[in-house]
Amino acid sequence: MKKVLIPAVLSIFLALNSCKQDNASNATSGNGDTEKIETDGTIEHQQSVAPPNVPAPVGDRKAKKVVVHLEVIEKVGELADGTQYNFWTFNGSVPGSFIRARVGDDIELHLKNNANNTFPHNIDLHAVNGPGGGAEGTFVAPGKEAIFNFKALNPGLYAYHCATAPVGMHIANGMYGLILIEPEGGLPKVDKEFYIMQGDFYTKGKFGEKGLQEFDMDKAIAENPEYVVFNGKVGALLGDKEPQVKTGETVRIFAGNGGPNLTSSFHIIGEVFDKVYLEGGSKINENVQTTVIPPGGAAIVEFKANVPGEYVIVDHAIFRAFNKGALGKIKVTGADNPKVYKKSSN
Ligand SMILES: [Cu+2]
């Protein structure tokens, strides 16, 4: 009896112990020592690029000081063809400019509130370790600028957003974007990178109603949007605005969700994500069909374009795609690949 028991107990002990070791190795990928990374004395003034584009990868550069300029601009724009909305934006786009840095960088963030704006604003970046994610230090009136500094301790893809009351309304008007903190040495190289962020919009008028639409607080509280869109507009990623890829290229999408309310079931019809950085963090899942992106969250998805065609990007809560606007496309051009995919000939 004892002879059987001892090996059984021993194997349970070993199994438990290996679990512990797994957890320990995960814990070390946090911000343990990144606080001590010294910057090399150089300063980069990050150039703002409009979505779906992103700044160049960090590569294997040393940590440095990165100065980021974001300007809040309240402006009327198109939510759908013929439907206007008074967007509140970071740098004039929804989502706001993509910020790209590496772990150990000292980031100096300038938040300017355009003098023509009506409301005060601020910014909470989920990549920040500090009170309010920067919101406390950046509350700024129209015509003024606030500056705060933070060290990027944790690698990953993070949301940022305005956190001025009523917070839900500021976010619902388009005040969100993504900040990527690359690990030391940078993310692995891919051929194409794109920036896509989902958001839900609450208008007095029903979906498709023409003219300038007012924000509807009741619909926002009920979490019942008229519009669910990628990159701030129905059709922002359709027609001549579809991201272009060639067959054989590897593609990385920095996918975020501004919300304010709805969780995205992010999916590309006809593609399998070879890799997903779950929740934008360090853990990689492989061979994923649909990834969940919560409001105030993100994921990095990667795939290889094997076969030419149009690939439809959706929130797979599918009425949102076909009835509320959460639909875009990626266009893949190049030679047919009948080994991977062949249309029926009849
Ligand atoms: Cu705001």
164: CA distance to ligand 1 center in Å?
5
CA of 277 to the centre of ligand 1 (A): 29
Distance in Å, CA 206 to ligand 1 centroid:
25
How far, in Å, is the centroid of ligand 1 from the Cα of 111? 11
- Expressed in angstroms and rounded, the spacing between residue 122 Cα and the centre of ligand 1 is 6
Beta strand 244-246 with 250-259 is unpaired
Phi-psi region of 345 (alpha: psi -120 to 50; beta: other; left: phi over 0): alpha
Each of the 346 residues of the chain gets a pLDDT tens digit; together they read: 444 445 554 454 444 444 443 433 333 456 778 999 999 999 999 999 999 999 999 999 999 999 999 999 999 999 999 999 999 999 999 999 999 999 999 999 999 999 999 999 999 999 999 999 999 999 999 999 999 999 999 999 999 999 999 999 999 999 999 999 999 999 999 999 999 999 999 999 999 999 999 999 999 999 999 999 999 999 999 999 999 999 999 999 999 999 999 999 999 999 999 999 999 999 999 999 999 999 999 999 999 999 999 999 999 999 999 999 999 999 999 999 999 999 887 6
d(CA 226, CA 319): 11
Residue 104 structure tokens: 């150990």
Asked if residues 115 and 95 have their Cβ atoms less than 8 Å apart, the reply is: no
Output the CA 120–ligand 1 centroid distance in Å: 6
Question: Could you give the maximum distance between any two Cα atoms of the chain, in Å?
Answer: 83
Query: What is the Å distance from ligand 1's center to 162 Cα?
Result: 5
Distance 163 CA to ligand 1 centre (A): 6
Identify the DSSP state of 321. H
C-alpha span between 26 and 20 (Å, rounded): 10
Q: Do 201 and 79 touch, CB atoms closer than 8 A? A: yes
CA-closest candidate to residue 313, choices 230, 246, 241, 234: 230
